[in-house]
């Protein structure tokens, strides 16, 4: 009976576990853009999704001088005034080199100052020369692991740009033939000049607003959050449902065995 009580206690702790990747920083540039409605919508949605999985969130307008205290940074600025200068690029290179998780927002060909600065940073990090195409592509396929745990197989962007190559990373979303895509992810170990860090980037802002292509865009955003958390803080995952069910089945079997042995 003592063994059974101990196992039940362990099960209770497992079932109550939550993801907590540590403090999250969202940089939205709200005071730097005329796109206030878009910025407010994507910020509110991203904050809500992080809070839902147990993360703590700080929202700022501009890149801070010191971001080392954050396990993830979500730079969702997409406008030309938010192009990353050399100081910002160095800050992000150091952050990723020390094991941080970074998301960078880009956009279509109307925002090339921002896009070019993101492309330049990726090349400086050792991720390759990805190139840009103003694809404005509609529906793209979602690639594993971004297809789960929230099931999504495709997403339709409102007006995206496209990377012409995924470099040393992997596609988040791409055209069916893989010729180009709007999202690229660099997991830990894939950036030669920042091996400890994880970087994701998507050239479309609308998908994060919880207003376009629902529920696909929302599921993709949730999976992005999970991917970055898994990369930079893999020890804080929620037990998989299948594992919980298997553990519960084992408990039931043990209980029956003890019952019939008495």
- Give per-residue pLDDT as tens, 72-128: 999 999 999 999 999 999 999 999 999 999 999 999 999 999 999 999 999 999 999
Considering only CA atoms, give the Rg of the chain.
21
* Helix (H/G/I), strand (E/B), else coil: 133: strand
- To which H or E segment does residue 104 belong? strand 101-105
pLDDT of 214 strictly over 90: yes
At residue 249 the predicted structure's pLDDT band, cuts being 50, 70 and 90, is: very low
d(CA 198, CA 99): 7
pLDDT of 256 strictly over 70: no
Query: In degrees, to the nearest 5, what angle opens at C-alpha 15 toward C-alphas 4 and 24?
Result: 145
CA torsion, ordered 142, 26, 32, 127, to nearest 10 deg: -50
Number of H helices, E strands in the chain: 6, 11
Q: What is the pLDDT of residue 10?
A: 34
pTM passes above 0.85? no
Can you list the positions of beta strands (E) in 181-222? 183-186, 198-202
pLDDT 10s digits, 222-231? 999 999 999 9
């Amino acid at each position: 009976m003592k063994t059974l009580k101990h196992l039940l206690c362990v099960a209770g702790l497992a079932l109550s576990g939550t993801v907590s990747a540590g403090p999250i920083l969202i940089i939205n540039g709200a005071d730097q853009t005329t796109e206030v409605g878009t910025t407010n919508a994507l910020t509110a949605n991203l904050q809500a999704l992080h809070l839902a999985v147990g993360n703590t969130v700080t929202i700022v307008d501009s890149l801070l001088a010191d971001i080392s205290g954050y396990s993830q940074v979500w730079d969702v600025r997409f406008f030309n005034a938010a192009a990353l200068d050399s100081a910002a690029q160095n800050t992000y290179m150091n952050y990723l080199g020390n094991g941080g998780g970074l998301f960078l927002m880009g956009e279509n060909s109307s925002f090339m100052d921002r896009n070019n600065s993101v492309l330049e940073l990726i090349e400086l990090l050792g991720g390759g020369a990805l190139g840009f195409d103003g694809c404005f592509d509609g529906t793209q396929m979602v690639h594993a692991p971004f297809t789960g745990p929230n099931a999504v197989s495709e997403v339709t962007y409102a007006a995206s740009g496209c990377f012409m190559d995924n470099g040393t990373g992997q596609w988040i979303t791409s055209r069916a033939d893989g010729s180009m895509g709007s999202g690229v992810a660099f997991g830990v170990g894939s950036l030669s000049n920042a091996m400890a860090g994880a970087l994701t980037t998507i050239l479309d802002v609308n998908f994060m607003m919880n207003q376009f292509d629902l529920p696909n865009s929302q599921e993709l955003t949730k999976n992005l959050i999970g991917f970055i958390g898994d990369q930079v803080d893999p020890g804080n995952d929620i037990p998989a449902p299948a594992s919980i069910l298997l553990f519960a089945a084992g408990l039931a079997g043990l209980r029956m065995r003890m019952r019939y042995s008495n």
